Structure 1
Amino acid sequence: MATTRASTTTSAGDRRVRRTQAALARALLDLVEEQDLSRVTVADVAEHAGVSRSTFYDHYRDVHELAEAACTAMIDRLIESLPGDFDSADPEVEATASLESFFASLAEHAGLYRALLGPQGSARVADHIRQRSTAAIRERLEEAVAGADVPEQARPLLSLPLDVPASFTAGALIGVAAEWLQGGCARSPGEMAALTWPLFHSLFRIEARPPS
């Protein structure tokens, strides 16, 4: 019975932690839609979430750490929408749709990402996004190379350690996204996808060979 009570107490405690962290994340998302992340204070977030500053510090060191934690799930969804099959039967259609989803997800929370990736944003969060993007793109490259007949023109690139083209691509994509966000998302997600796909295609021109 003691074990059961302890387990129940732990479970209840975990739920309270998750509820508090979710409230803090929602508060931050609301606030950065209205002002730069650099101007949001712990007191602002705590008041908006309906908790004390000491409760905030029970969970996070500062606003930037909260921003990183709050954005993790959204970042994961963004990365999942990146082009995943560089050598599919119709790569242009598939990859353009993936990129459009990527830019549409950014636009949905444009204020947040503008704050995080802009000149007054968080270098810590930007690096977090870059590292996750690099790892995801590297994984996709490994899958593509393993199942592809790599043409002559692509061999010099793909003979490099894949972390090099992966980090290059992630950095370039984040740079394009940041510039687009700072410009107020003047082009639609569809236009951005159409402009970005040729860059992916020229860099990763891998031709698949159907399995025998």
Structure 2
Amino acid sequence: MTIKMDRRKIRTKQLLRKALLELIEEKGMDGLTVSDLTERAGVNRGTFYLHYRDAADFLEQLKTEIFEGLTHEMARINPFELKYYADKDEPYPPSVKVLEYFDKHADFFRVILGPKGDPAFPLRVKEFMKDRLFNHVLKNIPQPDDAAIPRDYLIAYVTSANLGILMHWFESGRQLSPSDVARIITRIGGDGPMAWTGLK
């Protein structure tokens, strides 16, 4: 009985997620209602209210869930490992995992990163990237006084460039595989910006 209930709950969530993303793509995020969601999903309003306060709560829970999964994958990235894979012209494995995560949740990212999506979401991803790069990778590495590029500008460049590649991947219909895009990021990161960190 519990397994049936769990499956039913998962199925309900999947239907609501699909309905939510369709409605955002059609109408934008403002004015989403529980009635719109449940009618589109074919889900009873009472069932919806068992799990969520309103449409905004459902969207926020979904964004949090996706973001947590994404940051779990992104936390494994160490940009100083890129050079090793770039020299072999192989995609950096943690980057592949991140892109596979984007691909797995492509329905969500396509809408959220799209013109009617949530402009705050990519900024949230970018802030995580900046925090990860500075506080967990570069923090304890002294920057030479004569560094050609200040570290904060380097971090701004790296995070914006990677987010830009991701956005372009979605805008172009994800025609390349996650591995192909990871190889592009590896090539750029291995031979480009990280060479300006001051490390020999």
TM-score band, normalised by the shorter chain?
0.5 to 0.7
Match for 1:197 among 172, 186, 191?
Answer: 186
Give the length in aligned residue pairs: 184
Is this contact kept in 2: 1:28–1:45, CA < 8 A? Answer: yes
The C-alpha deviation readout for 1:22-68, integer Å capped at 9, x for no partner, is 777533333367x36233753242243733189559945545x5333
For 1:38 and 1:60, locate their aligned partners in 2 and report how far apart those are by CA, in whole Å: 22
Query: What 5-or-longer segments of structure 2 have no aligned partner?
Result: 1-8
Q: Counterpart in 2 of 1:26?
A: 14
3-state DSSP of counterpart to 1:66: helix
The C-alpha deviation readout for 1:145-191, integer Å capped at 9, x for no partner, is 24446578856332x3xxx5545443433332222123221001011
The AA in structure 1 aligned to 2:71 is I
Q: Counterpart in 1 of 2:4?
A: none
Match for 2:161 among 143, 147, 172?
Answer: 172
Query: What 5-or-longer segments of structure 1 have no aligned partner?
Result: 1-20
Q: Counterpart in 2 of 1:145?
A: 138
**Structure-to-structure mapping, 1:42-81, within 5 angstroms:** 42-47=34-39, 48=41, 50-52=43-45, 56=49, 59-63=52-56, 66-81=58-73
Q: Counterpart in 2 of 1:18?
A: none
The AA in structure 2 aligned to 1:75 is F
Q: Counterpart in 2 of 1:115?
A: 111
1:45/1:113 CA distance change after superposition, 3 Å: same
**Structure-to-structure mapping, 1:80-119, within 5 angstroms:** 80-82=72-74, 84-88=77-81, 91-92=84-85, 96-119=92-115
TM-score (norm 1): 0.64
Give the deviation of 1:193 after TM superposition. Answer: 0.5
For 1:194 and 1:170, locate their aligned partners in 2 and report how far apart those are by CA, in whole Å: 17
Report percent identity of matched pairs. 13
Structure having greater relative contact order (Cα 8 Å, sep ≥ 6): 2
The AA in structure 1 aligned to 2:136 is E
